[in-house]
Structure 1
Amino acid sequence: MTQPPHDEQTAADPEELQEQVEQTRQRLGRTVEALAAKADVKARAQEKATEAKDQAAAKAGELREQTAVKAGELREQTAVKAGELREQTAAKAEELRTKATEVVSRVQDKLPDPVRDKAAQAAEQARVKAAEAGRLWEEKAPEPVRARTAQGAQLARDHRGLLLTAAGAAAVVWLMCRGKK
């Protein structure tokens, strides 16, 4: 038989000995269970796989959250930048309108009176001819073509300022190019 450990006292009577044997069996049973759990590679692998899966799911959740936050920040930055660009564009458009108006005014001031009168007459003739062409158009053009033309005319009326600015800018460029020759 084995000798009892030094820290335990030997049993004085059979009941006490029975109790010590029972405690030793329980400790031995727990030790055997622990060793069996360590020896069960399949169960340990499954535990590790479950643990890794849980960690991956947690990390994926974190990344989704971080991505959503970053996307929100980018959306906000984009909206701010778009607003700034709109303001800059509006300011530049106003600046160009002002310059075009000044140039047109200077050009008109430099035109001799007979030329201005001729231009006014030509404009009136153009209005009359345009009205006449419009009447002919109404009489002769097919309905689908007239509908499309009406849409285009409405767009032009809606964006009249932009069209006039573009025309003024084109006139200025033409005058500048013509003046250089």
Structure 2
Amino acid sequence: MTQPPHDEPTASGPEELREQIERTRHELGETVEALAGKADVKARAQEKAAEAREQAAAKAGELRERAATQVGTLKAKAADVVHQAQDKLPDPVRDKAALGARRAGEEAARVGRLWEENAPEPVRARTLQGARVARDNRTLLLAAGGAAVLAWLTLRRRNG
């Protein structure tokens, strides 16, 4: 007969010996299962890939939220700059700009009519799509235009 491990007492009877054998079998089964899991490289790689996908999706969501917040902040700042620039413009300059805008609008309408009469259909469709995008982003475009005017005026004052 073999010697029992030093940390386990010997069985006092056949029933206790059977329980020890069953416990040992159960522990051995768990150990083999754990080793088999560690040896299954493909399954472990798939688990790691799934974890990485989940982390990437979470990070992308965070970045989208942060970008949306920053876009809102930038829009507000740009609108503020435009209003400040408009407030600083002298009345004659503002009146000339309004007159120029009105004349440009009239000219744009005339060119638009010519365009509708002469442009091929696919080109007109793309143009309408571009106009829709510009209309949907009107505030941003106006803010950018105002910032450009303000930068031009600032450079003009420094150089002149």
CA contact (8 A) 2:82 2:146 kept: yes
Aligned residue in 2 for 1:144? 122
CA contact (8 A) 2:85 2:150 kept: no
Of residues 101, 112, 117, the one that matches 1:134 is 112
Aligned residue in 1 for 2:134? 156
User: What 5-or-longer segments of structure 1 have no aligned partner?
Assistant: 1-57
CA contact (8 A) 1:104 1:168 kept: yes
User: Could you tell me which amino acid in structure 1 is paired with residue 70 of structure 2?
Assistant: K
Residue 169 of structure 1 and its aligned partner are, at CA, apart by 4.2
Give the direction of change, closer, same or farther, for the CA distance of 1:138–1:61 in structure 2 (3 Å limit).
Answer: farther
Aligned residue in 1 for 2:100? 122
2: CA distance, partners of 1:63 / 1:94: 46
User: What 5-or-longer segments of structure 2 have no aligned partner?
Assistant: 1-35
2: CA distance, partners of 1:67 / 1:100: 48
Residue 69 of structure 1 and its aligned partner are, at CA, apart by 1.3
Pair 1:88 & 2:88 matched: no
CA contact (8 A) 1:100 1:172 kept: no
Report 1:19-98 matches (<5 A): 62-98=40-76
Aligned residue in 1 for 2:83? 105
**1:16-41: CA deviation from partner (whole Å, max 9, x where unpaired):** xxxxxxxxxxxxxxxxxxxxxxxxxx
1: CA distance, partners of 2:143 / 2:47: 43
CA contact (8 A) 1:96 1:165 kept: no
CA contact (8 A) 1:156 1:163 kept: yes
- The total of aligned residue pairs comes to 124
Flag as ranges the 4+ runs of structure 1 deviating above 3 A.
58-61, 158-181
CA contact (8 A) 2:78 2:144 kept: no
User: Could you tell me which amino acid in structure 1 is paired with residue 141 of structure 2?
Assistant: L
1: CA distance, partners of 2:105 / 2:137: 20
3-state secondary structure, aligned to 2:40: helix
1: CA distance, partners of 2:88 / 2:147: 18
Structure of greater Rg: 1
Residue 94 of structure 1 and its aligned partner are, at CA, apart by 1.7
Percent sequence identity over matched residues?
56
